[in-house]
Structure 1
Amino acid sequence: MAWIAGASLVAWGWLLAGQGFFWRTDVRLPPGTDVRLPPGTDARLRPGTAPRPPDGRAGPVRGLPEPPAEWPSVAVVVPARDEAEVLPLSLPSLLAQAYPGRAEIVLVDDDSTDGTGELARALADGHGGLPLTVTSPGEPAPGWTGKLWAVRHGMALSRERTDAEYVLLTDADIAHGPDSLRALVSAARAADLDLVSQMARLRVTDFWERLIVPAFVYFFGQLYPFRWVNRPGTRTAAAAGGCVLLRRDAAERAGIPERIRHAVIDDVTLSRAVKRSGGRHGPGTGRIWLGLADHVDSVRPYPRLADLWRMVARSAYAQLLHSPLLLVGTVLGLALVYLAPPVALVAGLVGGSAPVALLGGLAWVVMTGTYLPMLRYYRQPPWTAPLLPFTALLYLLMTVDSAVQHYRGRGAAWKGRTYGAPPSRAGTTSEEASEGA
């Protein structure tokens, strides 16, 4: 037990300092929507401070240029399937965007049975604002997931109707602050980014949401440290599918969405394709940015444990490339890193072994400390931080259940559709698959 507790403490020491400071929550867009950066400026933006200059020295960047005289055109594509419950809380925020340039919304009604399309038209008539087009692509073609089929249809329609330089892909359950689109475009233009994504603040109202949701974002950041994602030239790539601003020519270079049509975890796959496809600075130099949002919120409720369980389990095994070996490694890793510390502390106290109790207690303290910033971001009380091992146990069980459901033919199920493992991961090389693992 002492060896296990010691290994857990070493693991937490490495995670604390060597995993891109994943536990920090300061990677966000600047509060001023018109802030622009000189070409080559580090894209790791932080709230309330000027961005760092290219040589990495701390300090303000002086002489920031004014906002563009002409703002680029943007097409907002919203894939929606049976979203009548949340649409009144989200769509008006898009219609009311205070964007200085031309922007229009395409809502793709993906064979909804609850009147999603009709409701969207009624909301547009009642609220006004940005022009809205509601369209439907029909059932997905073979080999396509429903969401990406809808995205394909929306992007194609917007390309026919406008000369938009950017496409904002946003989910039907995402509510945007009035300056959200303006801030995204400002950041993209300022740092010459091909993709800008914000991790929407998920709802934390009910008991199970408070317990599980902050940990969901915490674990995501651990898998894909935002600082590594945002560093040009690195292999790490990720995005948050609820809010992705994509440069049109970058999408064309990356073959989006055709190249990723099989993807269940479409946001990470999209970001990887953009980063690897190359950009204006040569092959493999696609520039992407991912951070936490301050004014982009998910309005979808997950009041019951079963709701959150389905949300995690539907894609957990896909994240592991449907590999039994990766599943075993993940379970053992979660047990060592998150479950061993409290078990060692209790075992050491009960068995009278001071070294075991000390090692387990120290590992638990470090774990708790890394979780506190995420709890503050979600405005949750700090006393819930020591409960992270219990939450991790739930995620472990959700991951195992995801694999079980996959082998029962019910994996990756979402609103009446089930997606199995594709014959080959579209747009993903073996090297990329290893990175995803």
Structure 2
Amino acid sequence: MSAVAWTATGSLAAWLWLLLGQGFFWRTDVRLPPRREPDVWPSVGVVVPARDEAAVLARSLPSLLAQDYPGRAEVFLVDDGSTDGTGELARALAERHGGLPLTVGSPGEPPAGWTGKLWAVRHGIGLARARDPEYLLLTDADITHEPDSLRRLVAAAGSGGYDLVSQMARLRVESLWERLVVPAFVYFFAQLYPFRWIGRKGSRTAAAAGGCVLLRTDAAERARIPDAIRQAVIDDVALARAVKGAGGHIWLGLADGVDSVRPYPRLADLWRMVSRSAYAQLRHNVPLLVGTVAGLAVVYLVPPVALFAGLVTGDHAVAVAGGLAWAVMTATYLPMLRYYRQPLALALLLPGTAFLYLLMTVDSAVQHYRGRGAAWKGRTYTRPDPTAPEPSPEQP
């Protein structure tokens, strides 16, 4: 066999393993687990970090204020140095819509060693804990919730004995580039962190989706959230690891009734969204970057190349191996496209989308070594500093 045939066969073997041995990551049936409503509903503090979110807040905040929750619940929105009137808009929306009580706070600029979002989350948790809630719902300012969202989350956590219940919000898919890139983003995430493994006790796999995380307050205290992860750029995964590492039982699945309204209409918008944290995901490790690029090429790019090369050269072994690998790849992507209600023919374009993600990952590393790090809304974060001081107890 030629080197090309061996490579194509290796790609096919990788896809057969991914199909059967990676926690059935491609299935989209991991939704909120069976639940029963409690006799007495626990209290909940809803924490919303927000930095320059006026463009989306009018759609997201009213959905939180309108939660049909039988117990006591309050919303704490933390205005993280916004310049677009986010805090003022939040107060105006609360006056106009009513519903759950709203408190708007502002923590000031984050000190060294903290990301802005986690500093805002820390302030919001401090405000919420003054009310002594049993649960904290951490949700982003671009996330809308159906009226029974909080009720379903709390019931699922209580019924399953979970310390953390997280839902991967359904991202917006309207523009051409969103259709091409967004479903693949969730597909790749599930491939890295199979949802079935996350919810299994004893499994080392841990992840959450930062847009919707329900967390027991005592579990947050045991895991020292957010202080223990104060430098994390990929804060949702770091949060889940901390909670699970402290003995917590966690769960992550796809959402019904929890949606992101943040638009990413251009490729440049999606590129920034992915590249700002891709190299941080690889722990700023060059060998890991090289291995990831090579792996993406073998798994996603080799199948179509092998198929067409085999057909052109008459090498049937190469064509068959490449074609079968591409067929398995396509089949595993179909459930995610159905979940996002997209044309199934887009599954054939997954190799091209994977190539875009490969370029975004490389660009993330390039930006890091140019000193730009992970940039988001005017802030840039470099490699975490293990010598950064612990926060003092007096800080809010």
TM-score computed with the length of structure 2 as normaliser: 0.96
Cross-structure match for 1:174: 143
Answer yes or no: is 1:417 the counterpart of 2:379: yes
Report the Cα distance in structure 2 between the residues aligned to 1:29 and 1:188, rounded to whole angstroms: 9
Contact 2:48 2:138 in 1 (8 A): yes
Q: Which residue of 2 aligns with 1:197?
A: 166
Match of 2:116 among 146, 149, 152: 146
Q: CA deviation at 1:178?
A: 0.5
Cα shift at 1:425 = 9.7
In the TM superposition, 1:26-425 aligns within 5 A as: 26-29=29-32, 35-36=35-36, 67-160=37-130, 162-278=131-247, 286-424=248-386
**Cα drift, residue 157 of structure 1:** 1.1
In 2, Cα distance between equivalents of 1:248 and 1:425: 28
- Counterparts of 1:68 and 1:392 in 2: how far apart (Å)? 44
SS at match of 1:264: coil
Cα deviations by residue, 1:41-62 (Å, 9 ceiling, x for unpaired): xxxxxxxxxxxxxxxxxxxxxx
Amino acid at match of 2:79: D
- Deviations 1:25-52, CA, capped at 9 Å, x for gaps: 000015x8xx32xxxxxxxxxxxxxxxx
Give the direction of change, closer, same or farther, for the CA distance of 1:425–1:29 in structure 2 (3 Å limit).
farther
Taking the aligned partners of 2:18 and 2:386, their CA distance within structure 1 comes to 32
Q: Which has the higher contact order (CA 8 A, sep 6+)?
A: 2
Which amino acid letter does the alignment assign opposite residue 38 of structure 2? P
Tell me the secondary structure at the aligned position of residue 258 of structure 2. Answer: strand
Q: Aligned to 2:26, which of 23, 28, 33?
A: 23
Task: Quote the Cα distance in structure 2 between the aligned partners of 1:425 and 1:159.
Answer: 28
Q: Which amino acid aligns with 1:424?
A: P
Percent identical residues: 77
Once superposed, which parts of structure 1, at least 4 consecutive aligned residues long, lie more than 3 Å away? none
Amino acid at match of 1:419: Y
- State the distance in 1 between where 2:16 and 2:350 align: 17
Aligned partners of 1:262 and 1:425 also within 8 Å: no
Do the aligned residues in 2 keep the contact of 1:263 with 1:425 (CA within 8 Å)?
Answer: no
Where structure 2 has 5 or more consecutive residues not aligned to the other structure, the ranges are 389-396
Give the superposition deviation at 1:424.
Answer: 3.1
Q: Which residue of 2 aligns with 1:282?
A: none
**C-alpha contact (below 8 Å) 2:113/2:385 kept by paired residues:** no
* Matched position secondary structure for 2:26: coil
Q: Secondary structure at the match of 2:46?
A: strand
Whole-Å Cα distance in 2 between the matches of residues 425 and 359 of structure 1? Answer: 50
Q: CA RMSD of the aligned region, Å? A: 1.0
Residue type of the partner of 2:294?
L
Amino acid at match of 1:157: L
8 Å CA contact 1:184–1:196 kept in 2: the answer is: yes
Alpha-carbon distance in structure 1 between the residues aligned to 2:300 and 2:137:
37
Among 9, 31, 34, the residue aligned to 2:12: 9
Does the residue aligned with 2:326 lie in a helix, a strand or coil? helix
Tell me the distance in 1 between the aligned counterparts of 2:77 and 2:368: 31
Query: Which one-letter code corresponds to 1:101 in the other structure?
Result: G
Mapped partners of 1:294, 1:412: distance in 2:
30
Displacement of 1:411 in angstroms is 1.7
CA deviation profile, 1:237-259 (whole Å, cap 9, x unmatched) = 00000000000000000010100
Structure 1 CA distance for aligned equivalents of residues 386 and 307 of structure 2: 45
Report the CA distance shift for 1:125/1:309 in structure 2 as closer, same or farther (over 3 A). same
Number of aligned residue pairs: give it: 385
Counterpart contact for 1:341–1:363, Cα < 8 Å: yes
Is the Cα–Cα contact under 8 Å of residues 47 and 124 in structure 2 kept in the other structure? Answer: yes
Q: Partners of 1:335 and 1:89 in 2: how far apart?
A: 40
Q: 1:194 to 1:328 in 2, by over 3 A?
A: same
